[in-house]
Amino acid sequence: MNTTDRLKELNNLFLRKTFPLRAATVSDYFTEHFDQLSYSERSFSRDLKALKEKLAERYPSLEETEGDLIRYSKSENRFYYIRDDISAFPSFSEKELDQIASIIDFNKHLFTGGNGNGIVNKLRAISLENNLTKHKELANWPAIELINEGDRSGSEHVKFLVDAIAGKQLIEISHKGLTATSKAKTVTGLPLLIKEYNNGWYTGWYVLFQEISDLHTRISLDKLRLFALDRIESIRPIQTNYKIRIHPDFQPSDFFKNNLGLFRGTGAAERIIIQLREDSWIKEYVTKYPIHPSQKSVDALHVELLLEINQELENFLLRYSTELHVVEPEQLREKMRANLAIAVSLYQ
């Protein structure tokens, strides 16, 4: 281990508040984790001095008012940083991680589908694992495993689109369909909202878009289109004299109001009654986590939804067909019966 790596590791030990940091414990730690055969008190003193100098460089005002930023506690027989939020190297301390998590938690309105909670949980998980130091021997597997979302397809367009949406800037996009034979089409219009959506296969971004073709255009929910960001080949701003009228009460998110998922059909929302199986786990679950904001309880076993009947709703009902079933409307009930009959036939 070279000097820089050793100092960084020593700095990390200082950030672990429960580690009894002194020459002997650091020597044992380096021997166990890095096979460093010897680490003398003289080397320890030299490294402490180097860390003090780095801390003084990073926090000159604090060092001027407080003196040495590394001190020794006789009662605890250990060295420590005088504050929890300082580090000799650029890094996040436990306090800083918690502060970032709290800021995101406070601004969860900027996230959809619980993504804000997910980021908060990950930051706090990092903080927790950074403090697993009271045990002499740790398990050789991670204590926490969270979902790895990865990069969203089309993420390179997000910054440009957010700016265009905020500034009501007309843009031109070249978009290609999903099939191999699809050709790129160019569309001019106003981007209104970026929507993140998990369709069961992957999580991606879509932009809600009002196509502009006339000099005077009124924004209407019925005229909006959705484009997947990962199918956009190019995008650029447009300078035109088009007059766009937007009602003061217009909200792009209302486009999804009567849908269970992302895509809107041509039908109106319908009253749907679903019966839950009496001995199913889903009975309590649906009460705590409603299927849709329109959900109302009819009685202990029946819930009412106001939704457009589309493929995504049918897929949801098929997914939980052993836990619930459609009571009405009859049209949807018959369609579910036919779909289930097809499913059964595949196993015969």
Peptide bond into 329 cis (omega under 30): yes
pLDDT at residue 115, as a whole number: 54
pLDDT at residue 22, as a whole number: 94
pLDDT at residue 146, as a whole number: 47
Q: Which CATH architecture has domain 155-251?
A: Roll (2.30)
Give the whole-angstrom CA distance, residue 274 versus residue 259: 16
Closest CA to 62 of 38, 44, 81: 81
Where would I find the H helices in 253-329?
A: 282-288, 311-319
Beta-bridged to residue 227, according to DSSP, are 207
Yes or no: say if 188 and 235 are a contact pair by the CB < 8 Å rule.
no
pLDDT at residue 77, as a whole number: 93
Give the whole-angstrom CA distance, residue 209 versus residue 226: 6
pLDDT at residue 270, as a whole number: 93
Give the whole-angstrom CA distance, residue 193 versus residue 191: 6
Q: What is the 3-state secondary structure (H, E, C) of 215-272?
A: CEEECCHHHEEEEEHHHEEEEEECCCCCEEECCCCCCHHHHHCCCCCCCCCCCCCEEE
pLDDT at residue 71, as a whole number: 94
Q: How far is CA 174 from the centre of its chain?
A: 28
Beta-bridged to residue 179, according to DSSP, are none
Give me the tens of pLDDT residue by residue for the chain, a chain 348 residues long: 788 889 988 998 998 878 899 999 999 998 888 877 788 999 999 999 999 999 998 888 888 889 999 999 999 999 999 988 788 886 555 555 566 666 666 666 665 555 555 565 555 555 555 555 455 555 555 554 544 444 556 777 888 888 888 888 899 999 988 777 888 899 998 998 888 776 655 667 888 999 887 777 788 888 888 898 888 989 998 887 777 888 888 888 888 888 888 878 777 899 999 999 999 999 989 988 899 999 999 999 999 999 999 888 999 999 999 999 999 999 999 999 999 999 999 998
Residue type, 291: I
Closest CA to 308 of 332, 275, 285: 332
Q: 27-55 b/e with 16+ CB inside 10 Å = b? A: bebbeeeeebeebeeebbeebbebbeebb
pLDDT at residue 281, as a whole number: 92
Tokens of 241: 């004299």
Sequence spans of domains, the chain: 3-81, 92-148, 155-251, 270-345
